Chains A and B, each alone.
Chain A
């Protein structure tokens, strides 16, 4: 079964199977990134610019801003969840994630 995955409402959402899976407005913790000087960047997601898949992973590039240092820009591909047997499992916002 194929599941549609796309950004929607001009970047407000990642939709999986025509329903809202991940929304803008949350803070993501990222490491191994060149987005900003912080070891762990805390990037507020302002909009999903690009959405794609890698295997079962749902990934996106987001426009955002680090709420600690203020750097803004577009973050490299980050995983936001997995599609398992048609069900979407989001990555928790508590997770510290590697970028790229």
Chain B
């Protein structure tokens, strides 16, 4: 039987949802009929609006999809201005203040505390700036990701940016593909380093070359069915197809249509294409694609460049991320800034836009490691840029523990979360920086923290993986983490082994400190942490993790899920002002 969600999508879905949003905005929060909340909130996701968690009713998270993470000159300022005017809630965050922008692991931007009444104004401002929230959430083509310096990279084989932007134009608002069984995450990589993270996407295009009619053609190999969510992580599987850059659109459309028609619409937990690939195997995916969805002969896969991948590959050197000063293919430079846990206060967002204008072209790019890049800086302006005060807080040369930290949204706003995430990761990062020696030669150490198994922070592909859990400590239930080790991408990607379970959150920094000192002691020569983990089986890895209380203090041990906002003075659910009207007064009061 089709799920409720499928029934609602059948009735109203896609572009037309915007008309309804505008109507509700006009009439106010109370105009959304009580018995239609579920269906409308499900639909709003398609336009990038996600109803925040319990205690925060009537407030929405808004996601702006920036393809390949590219913000054209002027766009970041508009994001900052919108955040400043509209993304303010009834409480403030002790680390980040009243309003900010979140840069996400899929190169998008999230704002919080958005009121439905403000949505039309925000959409107008976004439209004017060439930005959009369309399909940012919901069952459709999500923001397309890729190497964040595509088109500017010295190591690019195929210019992937044009391919990505063409896909974006072709599949945003495209009625044939607006209603898929589930989210549809696409990645396009054109560089030699593998920065597109194709392996963890539903559909990945990866650089390859192929001999066709005696000629070497550059293009892409296709992989299908990656994803990290739940306890069912999969790497995308090779379906043995090569495409030329000008054929990417038709092939992507064909695979998306295959998913639309064959994906499981009865059970949302089984709907992602990774499960269809499990069931069919890559050979059948290719066969059905060829027989039913394309009217030309598909090429078999070409020679890929995976053996050269260095991005998050746990090797020495190469491109572990995009932080730092790097030369572009045109002789200018890009400067990657470390944005701890991807969150930037609103004044800094606007300052970032100003600095990018002053020293670069004004363009800013977002990475899949929640960082920001200022592009197109002439060599002679580099020193002055590096002296800017903004770069003290968002450093191009950050401490390895700060550099490698990623965290998802967590109990602050997210319904699924088991634990507090971003503020905690900020505290972890600081404590590690101040108390733990960085092992020799380590420039970045990837610690990815996710509040639940949905894995938005991509925990399974980190050196140290943290996944929200609970445990009992001194008899009381407290927030905790499962700890995984040794995950990463590269030629042969690996998911972390989950080796220490239910470690109380206040003992995690001690566990990492002990782990790193053992690593330093026992590593062979200058072997990397990933290699060190690879040489050990799960039991041996488990022995390396010794949780311990330290001078680290955790203010979020209690059940942050049961608050209306974890940092509010009175955080009790009953103290929540939500739902509120447009002006912030409680709805239902007179």
Contact = CB atoms under 8 A, between A and B. Distances in A.
Contact of B418 (A42, A46, A49): A46
B35 A44 contact: no
DSSP majority for the A interface? strand
A67 B417 contact: no
A18 B41 CA distance: 10
Contacts of A25: 411, 416-418, 452, 470, 559, 561
Nearest to B35: A18
Nearest 9 pairs between A and B by C-beta? A12-B415, A18-B37, A25-B561, A12-B416, A18-B38, A25-B418, A44-B470, A9-B415, A20-B54
Given A46-B418, A47-B230, 4 more contacts: A24-B416, A42-B477, A44-B418, A70-B501
A67 B34 contact: no
A46 B415 contact: no
A59 interface: no
B36 interface: yes
8 contacts: A8-B42, A12-B415, A18-B38, A24-B416, A26-B561, A42-B477, A44-B469, A67-B502
A10 B34 CA distance: 20
Nearest to B34: A18
B472 A42 contact: yes
Contacts of A19: 34, 37
A24 to B, nearest CB: 6
A100 to B, nearest CB: 22
Interface string B220-243: 000000000011000000000000
A27 interface: yes
Contact of A17 (B34, B452, B501): B34
Nearest to B415: A12
Interface of A: 4, 6, 8-13, 15, 17-20, 23-27, 42, 44, 46-47, 49, 63, 65, 67-68, 70, 72
B268 interface: yes
B470 A67 contact: yes
Contacts of B501: 70
Interface in B154-191: none
Interface string B22-42: 000000000000111110001
A4 B469 contact: no
Contact of A11 (B4, B269, B502): B269
Contacts of B471: 67
Contacts, number: 72
B409 to A, nearest CB: 13
A11 B38 contact: no
Interface in B194-244: 230-231
B466 to A, nearest CB: 15
B452 A13 contact: no
A46 B452 contact: yes
A6 B502 contact: no
Interface string B447-474: 0000011100000000000000111100
A71 to B, nearest CB: 11
Contact of B231 (A18, A20, A49, A72): A72
Contact of A67 (B4, B411, B415, B469): B469
Nearest to A9: B415
A11 B37 contact: no
A88 B36 CA distance: 18
B416 A11 contact: yes
Contacts of A27: 470, 477
A8 B5 CA distance: 9
Contacts of B469: 44, 65, 67
Contacts of A68: 472
A15 B470 contact: no
B418 A47 contact: no
B114 to A, nearest CB: 17
Contacts of B559: 25
A17 B34 CA distance: 8
Nearest to A13: B415
A9 B472 CA distance: 27
B483 to A, nearest CB: 13
Interface string B547-590: 00000000000010100000000000000000000000000000
A81 B73 CA distance: 53
A72 B231 CA distance: 10
A18 to B, nearest CB: 4
Contacts of A11: 269, 416
Nearest to B472: A67
